[in-house]
Amino acid sequence: MMFDPYVLRKDFPMIANGIKMQGHPLIWLDNASTTFKPYPVIKAVERYYYEETSNSHRGDYDLCFKMDQEVERTRETVAAFIGAKRPEEIVFTSGTTSSLNLLAFGYASKYLKPGDEILLTEAEHASNVLPWYKVKEMTGCEVNFIPLTEEGRLTVENVRKSLTEKTKIVSIAEVTNVLAYSAPIKEIAKICHENGILLAVDGAQSVPHKKTDVADSDVDFLSFSGHKLCGPTGIGVLYGKYSLLEKMDPFMTGGGNNAKFDMCGDASFLAPPMRFEAGTQNLEGIIGLRAAIEYLQKIGMEEIEEYEKSLKKYAVEQIEKTGNAIIYNHDSEGPIVTFNVKDVFAQDAATFFNSRGIAVRSGQHCAKILMDFLGTVATVRASFYFYTTKEDIDALADAIAHGKEFLDAYF
């Protein structure tokens, strides 16, 4: 199948149905935040409610038995999608945030001790920072930061220089959510392992956009969200090497994660992944996640990555051509352009784009990043997916060119 974004767009009701914003056809450039859902995903979710409603692992009758099969089939699909050796290494969560919290509370808070160290970078999403601060509070360990290069990139060299005797866990995004630099996770995993350190990867911005192979990269944990890869909200994954999952505690306990339980308070917990899936799971989400992954596999992750690279290049060129913007991440790998319109506050620019039907995200950044790398208090982020077109980018560039009229949004 030839990759053709114009054909793929027909699969997305948010695009095909001509949804409007402020009276203009919607131009969705906030894909790093969330993505549109194609019909096959919506149909799969619908099918659960129309034809397949039941709970999982309670199986006394056919529907329930089938539900269990659906869940396990999704686990297999996810495992194959990210190159995991076994489906039991796939834990369903509600998203990246919940995956990272499970890892922090279930693993790190159990094993880290005062004096131990967790290393992050200053470009991490709050969801890959705040759970580790909780671990610090609970265990007395330290949380430190690996320096980034001047442009905001994480290098193997800097990781190597930052590792100490005390380092136990390194937790980093493969692709960061503001600047979209891609970290060499395979090399980082290698030096972590040479030093007996675990590498946890936040894949929220990488898994949707490129081929992932945990067997090849050898990362220990990987977190990602369904909704950023055309799947439903409220479903995500924590991948962990099985031997590590076995050492990990559940973050929640209750029905469905215990093997035996008596009223004397004795409980023994199931093996992973069930151990981490207490309570009724997000079954529509699990079914929808499989449909989303199958949809992406049909397109091909290499094709998606290649197309998005060309889009990114095109966007940088078109935005530069306006002469009216400052771009902060020309050379980064991910499909994100972070910029400011000259002399216009990021939020004012985003409001102006909104008035033209263009959805982008304006945001402030944690003090360190903005001081060290951006030299500004806030930026605008336009992020793409495989259904983004050059015309979408042209509309953005045109709005940027008219940036001086930003107050028109209010008249």
Ligand X SMILES: Cc1ncc(COP(=O)(O)O)c(C=O)c1O
Active-site residues, by number, are: 366
Residue 57's binding partner out of ligand X, other proteins, none, with CB under 5 to 8 Å set by partner kind: none
Q: How many angstroms separate the most distant Cα atoms in the chain? A: 72
Say whether residue 149 binds other proteins (CB under 8 A): no
Tell me, what amino acid is at 249? D
Say whether residue 411 binds other proteins (CB under 8 A): yes
Among 318, 355, 383, 388, indicate the residue that binds other proteins (CB under 8 A).
355
In whole angstroms, what is the distance from residue 380 CA to residue 351 CA?
11
Using the contact rule CB under 8 A, the part of the chain among 8-16, 49-57, 254-262, 402-410 near other proteins is 402-410
CB atoms within 10 A of CB 288: 30
CB atoms within 10 A of CB 319: 23
Question: Count of residues binding other proteins (CB under 8 A)?
Answer: 19
Closest CB to ligand X among residues 370, 397: 370
Tell me if 365 sits within 8 A of 349, measured CB to CB.
no
Tell me, what amino acid is at 53? T
Backbone phi and psi for residue 217, each to the nearest 5 degrees, phi listed first? -75, -25
Shortest reach from residue 130's CB to other proteins, in Å: 16
Residue 95: both structure tokens together? 């998203």
Closest CB to ligand X among residues 97, 338: 97
Question: Where in 107-197 does DSSP place strands (E)?
Answer: 117-121, 142-146, 167-173
Say whether residue 202 binds ligand X (CB under 6 A): yes
Say whether residue 22 binds other proteins (CB under 8 A): yes
Closest CB to other proteins among residues 50, 411: 411
Measured at the alpha carbon of residue 360, what is the angle toward residues 356 and 362, in degrees to the nearest 5? 120
Among 10, 347, 391, 398, indicate the residue that binds other proteins (CB under 8 A).
347
Residue 173's binding partner out of ligand X, other proteins, none, with CB under 5 to 8 Å set by partner kind: ligand X
Say whether residue 177 binds ligand X (CB under 6 A): yes
Say whether residue 95 binds ligand X (CB under 6 A): yes
Quickly tell me which residue has 């001081």 as its tokens: 371
Closest CB to ligand X among residues 120, 399: 120
**Touching ligand X, residues 127-146 (CB under 6 A):** 127-128
Using the contact rule CB under 6 A, the part of the chain among 47-55, 93-101, 144-152, 154-162 near ligand X is 93-101
Residue 198's binding partner out of other proteins, ligand X, none, with CB under 5 to 8 Å set by partner kind: none
Question: Where in 203-250 does DSSP place strands (E)?
Answer: 221-225, 236-240
Residue 77's binding partner out of ligand X, other proteins, none, with CB under 5 to 8 Å set by partner kind: none
In whole angstroms, what is the distance from residue 149 CA to residue 133 CA?
24
- The DSSP bridge pattern shows strands 27-28 and 358-359 to be parallel
Number of H-type helices and E-type strands within the chain:
16, 17
- Rule CB under 6 A: which residues touch ligand X? 32, 95-97, 125, 127-128, 173, 177, 202, 204-205, 225
